[in-house]
């Protein structure tokens, strides 16, 4: 039997989903690998694209204090690649070795990657193909996750929504795009763009929770 808290959670999830849907498709551009607090290995991106920055502000404006406060670590676009086992601490030598490895692979983030593809199912020969995305990550869906642990090894629920952007989301809701909607979307993206490329460099100033 559903409790009142469950109903409140469902209602909040629906509001989060409505805001997430208005985020336009975008991409994250890799900046560098680095070792964060507690020995966590992370991939930092160049910053949040305007679409995501705008959606984050919309969440704050829509839900306010009903959402948990955002930790400093998630205020910069990055993803966790690995962490230490409980009770394990990196030695200075291990930290230095990891830092050197991160620097060695940094150039590869900005270079076209090569992969092997098959020309057809009937042919045995493979050929090299160059992917020129430079490691960029396309964002066309967002997940609303209720988790039982921060590493997401135990997920209570997950809801995936497509990134449609303001104009498409309003059109789907029957409001129509219109010139006003397009102008508002452009204004929001321009405002978000002002904080897209932040001077804060997570590679040199690591003061965020992993």
Residue pLDDT, tens place only, 94-133: 999 999 999 888 777 766 554 433 334 444 443 333 344 6
Each domain of the chain, given as residue ranges in start order, spans: 15-193
Quote the pLDDT of residue 3: 59
4-37 per-position pLDDT tens digit? 566 677 888 888 898 888 899 999 999 999 999 8
Rounded Cα gap, residues 64 and 58, in angstroms: 9
Cross-strand bridge partners of residue 116: 128
Half-sphere exposure of 24 (CA within 13 A, CB side): 17
Are the CB atoms for 1 and 148 separated by under 8 Å?
A: no
Q: What angle do CA 79, 84, 89 make, to 5 degrees?
A: 125
User: Mind listing the pLDDT tens digit for each residue in 137-193?
Assistant: 899 999 988 888 877 788 998 999 999 886 665 666 665 545 555 555 555 555 444
Most distant CA atoms of the chain, gap in Å: 61
Angle in degrees, 0-180, between the axes of helices 165-172 and 178-193, rounded to the nearest 10: 150
The predicted pLDDT at position 207 comes to 35
Residues in the chain, overall count: 210
Fold adopted by 15-193: Cyclic Phosphodiesterase; Chain: A, (3.90.1140)
Determine contact, residues 133/56, Cβ cutoff 8 Å. no
């Amino acid at each position: 039997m559903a409790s009142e808290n469950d109903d409140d959670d469902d209602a909040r999830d629906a509001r989060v989903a409505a805001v997430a849907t208005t985020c336009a498709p975008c991409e994250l551009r890799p900046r560098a690998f680095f070792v964060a607090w507690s020995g966590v290995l992370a991939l930092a991106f160049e910053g949040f694209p305007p679409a995501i920055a705008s959606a984050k502000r919309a969440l704050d404006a829509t839900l306010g204090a009903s959402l948990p406060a955002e930790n400093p670590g998630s205020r910069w676009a990055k993803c966790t690649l690995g962490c230490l086992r409980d009770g394990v601490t990196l030695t200075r030598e291990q930290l230095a070795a990891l830092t050197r490895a991160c620097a060695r692979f940094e150039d590869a983030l900005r270079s076209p990657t090569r992969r092997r593809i098959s020309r057809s199912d009937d042919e045995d020969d493979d050929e090299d193909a160059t992917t020129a995305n430079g490691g960029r990550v396309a964002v066309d869906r967002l997940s609303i996750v209720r988790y039982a642990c921060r590493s997401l090894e135990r997920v209570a629920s997950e809801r995936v929504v497509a990134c449609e952007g303001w104009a498409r989301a309003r059109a789907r809701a029957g409001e129509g795009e219109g010139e006003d909607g397009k102008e508002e979307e452009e204004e929001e993206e321009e405002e978000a763009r002002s904080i897209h490329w932040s001077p804060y460099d997570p590679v040199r100033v690591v003061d965020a929770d992993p």
